[in-house]
Amino acid sequence: LLGQPPGDFADEEDFDRIMSQLMEQHVSGDAPGPASEATIAALPKKSLTRDMVGGKEVSEDFPDSELKGECSICIETVLIGEEVAVLPCGHWFHNSCIAAWLREHDTCPHCRKGV
């Protein structure tokens, strides 16, 4: 790591210490638990709209076919009109993506607000 300023990397001892701290946080129960299947099934489904992908910021004559969103879980493109699941905080995702996430965590992947 020649040429890098000191402090830009962790040696083996620092790495072990950091990993131990992260593992302790996970084991200590700081992470939220899963959402219930009923909560996941009850999420509202909507067709993606211009407003949901920031369409207010572009000209009205800009075609919907050129506007795209992105599911931030799978990082895949979502087109206007495609169905998405919307969390209470307003963030949206592919239904299958957010269902898988919520089976592990009962919070929004973006803002961490509970569902």
CA 67, 69, 75 angle in degrees (round to 5)?
140
Between 86 and 57, name the one with better pLDDT.
86
Task: Tell which residue, 94, 91, 62, has the closest CA to residue 78.
Answer: 94
Position 20 scores a pLDDT of: 75
Q: What is the pLDDT, as a whole number, of residue 79?
A: 92
Boundaries of every domain in the chain: 32-102
Averaged pLDDT, 45-57: 85
Answer yes or no: is pLDDT of 19 > 80.
no
pLDDT for 30 equals 61
Average confidence (pLDDT) over 65-77: 89
For residue 46, name the pLDDT band (cuts at 50, 70, 90).
Answer: very high
CATH number of 32-102: 3.30.40.10
